[in-house]
Amino acid sequence: MRRMRRAVVVGILMALAAGGCLSVKTEHEIKPIHITMDVNLKVQKELEDFLNFD
């Protein structure tokens, strides 16, 4: 019985030791963000202000 208990303890310790040697490598990719802004409202207002002869 002691021999079996000892084998289980040694097995658990070996599993923990092997688990501590594992490493995980991750890769990240940075992609550019494209933003399109609509500026027609500003141009329209400036055009109306320019053409308004009040």
CA 7/CA 17 separation, integer angstroms: 15
Domain around 30: 2-51
Full-model pTM: 0.33
Q: Interior CA angle at 26 toward 20 and 29, to 5°? A: 170
Q: How many domains does the chain have?
A: 1
Q: What is each CA distance from 32 to 29, 35, in whole angstroms?
A: 10, 10
Q: Under DSSP, is residue 15 helix (H, G, I), strand (E, B) or coil? A: helix
Q: Which helix (H) or strand (E) holds 43?
A: helix 40-51
> pLDDT 10s per residue in the chain (54 long)?
677 788 888 888 777 766 666 677 888 888 999 888 766 777 778 888 888 865
Q: How far apart are CA 45 and CA 27, in angstroms?
A: 48
